């Protein structure tokens, strides 16, 4: 992995550079120290030589005697053949030079830097290449009364000489260097482990790849930081996953809800909406809407709009448990919706649309039913009241008439009883269907019992009832409800079909789920325009006459509801050859 190398290399190069700079600085300092030490030493030697020369000149009065050739013996005194002695007159003429035999050929030395310095300060030094010997010399000159004595020695303070002299020191430095090299290598390696692991982790986290949070970091500070970061990341990731799951659950929940629900920001931008929401606002607005924000332009949502305007544009603060809300019902295209809007503390809000068409219709139906029932009860009650008042108001009425009125009143109470029984049965089927005991029922037995009970009434009308039901036809249901299905159908034929009528009841088909039945008579039938409404409650064909004589108008309602409770269905038609036929199914299980 190139990145791994590069990081380690960088740290390594950095440390080593710092170290080398340090070593070079130390060496440089040492060199300077050595140099000044050597120069001092040189100067001492040269000054000594100058002093010895001067003493020699003074002692033997060489200048006065003009016998400077004698100075050659100085060499023995000084004992260093490399040391060059020059004696120069005040005017710069060279009087004697230990390296040159014919001083007359030498140029004037007054302008030599060391001579100039000696002239003004008493002594002077200079390093330069000698034009006479072409060697690098260190010159030292001193001015005495009337002449200069100059000594010079070959100047050879060189780095390589120094390095030679400092060999042990340099070996020591190299060993230290190698040791530090190893140490730096060791530490950068350790550092690199943590950093590399952290980097790999960061890259994987950045790419959202699955990460094993069980990374083994070294036990140093960086490792500690690394494992803390990974731990924090692990917690974060877990919270994130939990949150995602919650969110998904919430989304799923939103989508299986029957309500349309949408959340909006305080700027009225949609945050979230389920499919029902879009579907409902499409129904309400009568357009194929795709955006939830559309509701703010629909007239039916005006109340919500005004409500939002009041709260969103104001600085009203409200406690969390008393969130402002508005709720109302609208009806559109024969459907009913309940709209609810709740504003949250951060001024975002939720709009809920509930389709209440079914319960609303049920409510209206019940309302209508109640008024129908009241109306239906009024008729027999008024009759009873009328008969009783006649008897009370006419005390002299003869016994025969009295008996007649009483029997009429009695038959009206019978009717009332019948009506109340039917209403109660219908209510039970509709609202408490689960209370009917369900078990396998042999249909043929049920029908036979009903026919037997009605035999007398059938005979009166000279009617026949033919059964074509197989013994094996068994449905899962409630026997008393199934009895009332056939009882109502046969009674209707007796009441409305006419005389000399033949009834046929048969099972004509079966499939996996159902047994199919046909009930028919060959009576007068029902006029086509009434056919679709005869299952409605209290619907009668010749209502005025029937109310007096016939049933309650609930018979076929009871039949239809009872069949639906048995997971079946019923339809009706007039037979072409005359009479009526009901086709219905009953579930096998």
Which stretch in 164-172, 300-308, 506-514, 522-530 sits in contact with ligand ADP by CB under 6 A? 522-530
Residues 294-333 that bind ligand ADP (CB under 6 A): none
Q: Where are the beta strands (DSSP E) in 469-510?
A: 474-477, 502-510
Q: How far is the CB of 551 from ligand ADP (least distance, A)?
A: 3
Q: How far is the CB of 361 from ligand ADP (least distance, A)?
A: 21
Q: How far is the CB of 533 from ligand ADP (least distance, A)?
A: 9
Q: Which of 409, 580, 584, 586 lies at the binding interface for ligand ADP (CB under 6 A)?
A: 580
Tell me: does residue 521 bind ligand ADP (CB under 6 A): yes
Contact (CB, 8 A) for 261 and 271: no
> For the chain, first and last CA: distance in Å?
71
Contact (CB, 8 A) for 570 and 486: no
Q: How far is the CB of 385 from ligand ADP (least distance, A)?
A: 23
Question: Which 3 state secondary structure label does DSSP give 465?
Answer: strand
94/556 with CB nearer ligand ADP: 556
Q: How far is the CB of 429 from ligand ADP (least distance, A)?
A: 14
Tell me: does residue 497 bind ligand ADP (CB under 6 A): yes
Q: How far is the CB of 582 from ligand ADP (least distance, A)?
A: 8
SS3 readout for 174-198: HHHHHHHHHHHHHHHHHHHHHHHHH
- Nearest alpha-carbon partner for 379 in 548, 541, 554, 546: 548
Tell me: does residue 523 bind ligand ADP (CB under 6 A): yes
Residues 451-490 that bind ligand ADP (CB under 6 A): 488
Whole-angstrom Cα distance, residue 550 to residue 503?
A: 19
53/552 with CB nearer ligand ADP: 552
193/426 with CB nearer ligand ADP: 426
248/542 with CB nearer ligand ADP: 542
Contact (CB, 8 A) for 556 and 486: no
Which stretch in 331-339, 396-404, 435-443, 494-502 sits in contact with ligand ADP by CB under 6 A? 494-502
Measured CA to CA in angstroms, residue 141 lies from 82, 111, 119 at distances of 17, 12, 9
Q: Which of 492, 507, 561, 585 lies at the binding interface for ligand ADP (CB under 6 A)?
A: 492
- Interaction pattern, residues 80-109, with ligand ADP; x per rule: CB under 6 A: ------------------------------
Q: Provide the residue count of the chain.
A: 589
**Which helix H or strand E contains 161, and what residues bound it?**
helix 159-165
Residue 135's φ and ψ, nearest 5 degrees, are -125, 155
Cα–Cα–Cα angle for 299, 303, 305, rounded to 5 degrees: 80
| CA atoms lying within 13 Å on the CB side of residue 10 | 8
Contact (CB, 8 A) for 127 and 133: no
Residues 533-572 that bind ligand ADP (CB under 6 A): 534, 539-541, 546, 550-557
Q: How far is the CB of 495 from ligand ADP (least distance, A)?
A: 6
Q: Which of 125, 227, 372, 493 lies at the binding interface for ligand ADP (CB under 6 A)?
A: 493
Whole-angstrom Cα distance, residue 348 to residue 266?
A: 4
Q: How far is the CB of 572 from ligand ADP (least distance, A)?
A: 9
Q: How far is the CB of 488 from ligand ADP (least distance, A)?
A: 6
Contacts of 22 (CB under 8 A, 6+ apart): none
- Nearest alpha-carbon partner for 265 in 350, 345, 341, 348: 348
Contact (CB, 8 A) for 466 and 504: yes
How many residues at the interface with ligand ADP, by CB under 6 A? 24
Tokens of 46: 């040269």
380/551 with CB nearer ligand ADP: 551
Q: How far is the CB of 463 from ligand ADP (least distance, A)?
A: 11
Instruction: Return residues touching ligand ADP (CB under 6 A).
Output: 488, 492-493, 495-497, 521, 523-524, 526, 534, 539-541, 546, 550-557, 580
């Amino acid at each position: 992995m190139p990145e791994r190398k590069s990081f380690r290399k960088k740290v390594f190069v950095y440390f080593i550079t710092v170290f080398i700079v340090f070593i070079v600085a130390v060496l440089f300092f040492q060199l300077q120290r050595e140099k000044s030490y050597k120069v001092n030493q040189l100067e001492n030697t040269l000054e000594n030589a100058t002093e010895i020369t001067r003493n020699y000149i003074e002692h033997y009065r060489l200048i006065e005697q003009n016998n400077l050739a004698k100075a050659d013996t100085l060499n023995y005194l000084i004992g260093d053949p490399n040391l060059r002695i020059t004696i120069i007159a005040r005017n710069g003429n060279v009087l004697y030079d230990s390296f040159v035999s014919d001083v007359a050929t030498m140029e004037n030395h007054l302008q030599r830097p060391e001579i100039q310095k000696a002239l003004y300060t008493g002594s002077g030094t200079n390093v330069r290449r000698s034009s006479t010997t072409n060697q690098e010399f260190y010159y030292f000159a001193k001015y005495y009364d009337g002449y200069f004595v100059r000594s010079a020695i070959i100047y050879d303070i060189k780095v390589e000489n120094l390095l030679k002299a400092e060999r042990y020191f340099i070996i020591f430095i190299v060993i230290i260097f190698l040791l530090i090299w190893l140490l730096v290598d060791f530490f950068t390696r350790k550092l690199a482990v943590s950093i590399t692991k952290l980097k790999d982790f960061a890259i994987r986290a950045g790419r959202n790849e699955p990460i094993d949070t069980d990374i083994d970091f070294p036990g140093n500070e960086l490792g500690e930081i690394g494992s803390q970061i990974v731990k924090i990341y692990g917690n974060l990731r877990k919270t994130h996953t939990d949150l995602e799951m919650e969110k998904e659950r919430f989304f799923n929940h939103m989508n299986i809800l029957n309500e349309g629900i949408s959340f909006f920001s305080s700027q009225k931008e949609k945050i979230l909406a389920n499919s029902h929401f879009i579907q409902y606002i499409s129904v309400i607005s009568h357009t194929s809407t795709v955006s939830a924000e559309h509701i703010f332009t629909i007239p039916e949502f005006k109340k919500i709009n005004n409500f939002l305007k009041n709260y969103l544009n104001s600085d009203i603060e409200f406690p969390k448990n008393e969130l402002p809300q508005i709720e109302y019902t609208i009806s559109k295209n024969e459907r009913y919706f309940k709209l609810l809007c709740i504003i949250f503390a951060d001024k975002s809000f939720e709009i809920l649309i509930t389709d209440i068409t079914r319960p609303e219709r049920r409510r209206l139906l019940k309302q209508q039913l109640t008024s129908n029932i009241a109306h239906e009860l009024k008729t027999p009650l008024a009759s009873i009241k009328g008969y009783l008042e006649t008897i009370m108001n006419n005390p002299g009425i003869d016994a025969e008439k009295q008996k007649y009125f009483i029997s009429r009143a009695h038959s009206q109470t019978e009717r009332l009883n019948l009506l109340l029984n039917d209403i109660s049965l219908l209510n039970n089927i509709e609202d408490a269907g689960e209370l009917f005991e369900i078990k396998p029922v042999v249909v043929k037995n049920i029908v036979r019992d009903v026919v037997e009970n009605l035999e007398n009434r059938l005979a009166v009308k000279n009617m026949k009832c033919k059964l074509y039901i197989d013994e094996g036809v068994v449905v899962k249901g409630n026997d008393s409800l199934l009895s009332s299905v056939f009882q109502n159908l046969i009674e209707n034929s007796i009441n409305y079909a006419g005389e000399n009528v033949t009834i046929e009841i048969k099972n004509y088909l079966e499939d996996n789920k159902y047994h199919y039945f046909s009930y028919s008579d060959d009576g007068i039938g029902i006029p086509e325009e009434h056919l679709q409404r005869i299952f409605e409650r209290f619907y009668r064909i010749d209502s005025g006459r029937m109310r007096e004589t016939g049933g309650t108008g609930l018979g076929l309602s009871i039949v239809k509801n009872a069949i639906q409770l048995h997971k079946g269905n019923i339809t009706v038609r007039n037979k072409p050859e005359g009479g009526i036929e009901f086709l219905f199914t009953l579930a096998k299980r």
